[in-house]
Structures are given as C-alpha cells and as structure tokens.
Amino acid sequence: MKTSLIRAINLIISPTEELLDILGTTAKMSLSSSLIALVIGVLIGIWLGSSKSKVKSVLIVINRTLVGMPPVVCGLILFMLFSGVGPFRHLQWMFSVQLMILAQVLLITPIVISTMETNIAEIAGPIKENCRGLGLSKSQSLKLILNESVYFIFSSYLMAFSRAIAEVGAVSMVGGAIAWKTNVMTTAIMMYTNRGDFTLGVALGIILLILSSIVNIAVTLIQRRLTNVN
C-alpha cells in the first residue's frame, strides 16, 4: 500500500499521457453536465419555488423521485434508447462523452431543481410581496429573486459538480470506460483496481479528493465575498 501511495504521488507530479487524458475527459464531462444541469435546474427550481400553480406539488413529487433514481437505472434507460436496438441509435452516441454528459444531466438536474425549489420557496413570497407593494415590474422581481438566490445557485452548482465528478454507475454503462475515449476518473479507478494496478487508481483518488476540496474552498470564498457586497 505504501509503495502504491508513493508511486501514485510520483504519477501526480509527473503525469502520464493516459492520466492527463482521463483528467481531460472527466473535466469535459463534469463541467459540461453540471453547467447544463445548473441552467435548467435553476430556471425550473425558481419557477417551482415561486409558483402557485396547481401542478406544482405533483411536479415536486416527481422531481423528488428522480433525485433518488439509482444511476444504473438511468444508465439502463439510456442504454436501451441509444444502443443498437434503441430509437436513437442513428445518433451513434453510444459509448461517447455526449451520452455520458446526457446521463449526468439527467441525474444532476433533479438535485439542482430540488435545492433551488426548497430555498426559493422560503424567500419568493416576501420578495414578491415587497416588489408588488413597491410597484416593481415582473422582470425586476425576477432579477431580485435571482440576486437573492446567488448563494443557492453556488450551493446547487457545488452539489451538481460533486455528484458529476464522483458518479460511476451510469457513465460506465453508457460510456463503456474506453481508454483514450470515455474513461473518466471513477471508471478508471474501477478498471485499474480490477486489474490489480493500484497506482493509477490511488493517484486518481487523491486528485478527486483534492478537486473536491478546491471546489468547496472556492465556493466558500465566493459566498463570503458576496456577503460583503455593497
């Protein structure tokens, strides 16, 4: 174990092309999917949190169900849709980064929606009441709700990114963990561990933890800065 750890640290200091490729694919997949999920999730979350629509409670229940959807089920559904017998086979997305991003978006968006909806529901009422009382337009109210939601958006993004970077079930099913193509950090850890090669697995594990810490620190610093805004 000690030897693997030393080798892993050496590998991080002098990364191989394969390691860099895995990191690049992971970054592409995680950043793209978390940003897409954030845009969709924030808009739907704000609407759900501030709406008085009758279908709201039904949509919230559906979304909460989707939050708990096991990643392998998501992977299975996409596999059936995009594989050789599926209706979307002509897109030829099977075992591609695009399909991995789609899988992640499907898994992460409900989390963003849920976080946004819960937080917005608490502040939307007072904001709308104050805006209406002050004669502000609907677009001004929306801008003010968005401005008040900055913390929630950052928190949601943190959760989305953390989930995207750490997910393994769905991406391995639809991506296939193909070296130099769809292999991401989590699938690579699994693959190399199964082969008995711990060095790359440990190196990737360390990088995952470091990345997670960096994201957390960055968000905390941004939140502090926003609290002091003038």
Partner 1 sequence: MLIKAFTKSYAEFKLTAREMNYESGKIYAFIGPNGCGKSTYAKCIAGVCAADDGAVVSADVAKIGYMSQASFPFRMSVKKNIMLTASSEERADTLIDKLGLAGIASKNAKRLSGGQCARMALARALAGEFDILVLDEPCASMDMKSTLASEECIKEYAGSGHCIIIITHSLAQAERIADEIIFMDGGEIVERAYSSELINNANDTRTRDFLEFFGK
Residue ranges that bind partner 1, judged by CB under 8 A: 123, 126-127, 129-130, 132-136, 140, 144, 147-148, 150, 226-230
Say if residue 7 is exposed, middle or buried (CB neighbours under 10 Å; 0-12, 13-18, 19+): middle
CA distance 221 to 215: 10
CB of 41 to partner 1, least distance (A): 21
202: amino acid identity, one letter: V
CB of 46 to partner 1, least distance (A): 15
Q: In the structure encoding, which two tokens stand for residue 79, read together?
A: 């596999």
Alpha helices (H) in the chain, listed in sequence order: 2-13, 17-50, 56-67, 71-82, 97-133, 138-148, 150-166, 169-175, 185-195, 198-227
Say if residue 207 is exposed, middle or buried (CB neighbours under 10 Å; 0-12, 13-18, 19+): buried
CB of 227 to partner 1, least distance (A): 7
Residue 122 or residue 197: which is nearer to partner 1 going by CB?
122
* Beta carbons of 86 and 78 less than 8 angstroms apart: no
DSSP 184: -
CB of 224 to partner 1, least distance (A): 12
Q: What is the largest distance, in Å, between two alpha-carbon atoms of the chain?
A: 68
DSSP 14: S
Q: In the structure encoding, which two tokens stand for residue 88, read together?
A: 């979307």
CB of 69 to partner 1, least distance (A): 34
CB of 145 to partner 1, least distance (A): 10
Residue 107 or residue 124: which is nearer to partner 1 going by CB?
124
Residue 138 or residue 181: which is nearer to partner 1 going by CB?
138
Residue 221 or residue 226: which is nearer to partner 1 going by CB?
226
Residue 3 or residue 228: which is nearer to partner 1 going by CB?
228
Angle among Cα 156, 157, 161 to the nearest 5 degrees reads: 120
Residue 51 or residue 83: which is nearer to partner 1 going by CB?
51
Residue 33 or residue 50: which is nearer to partner 1 going by CB?
50
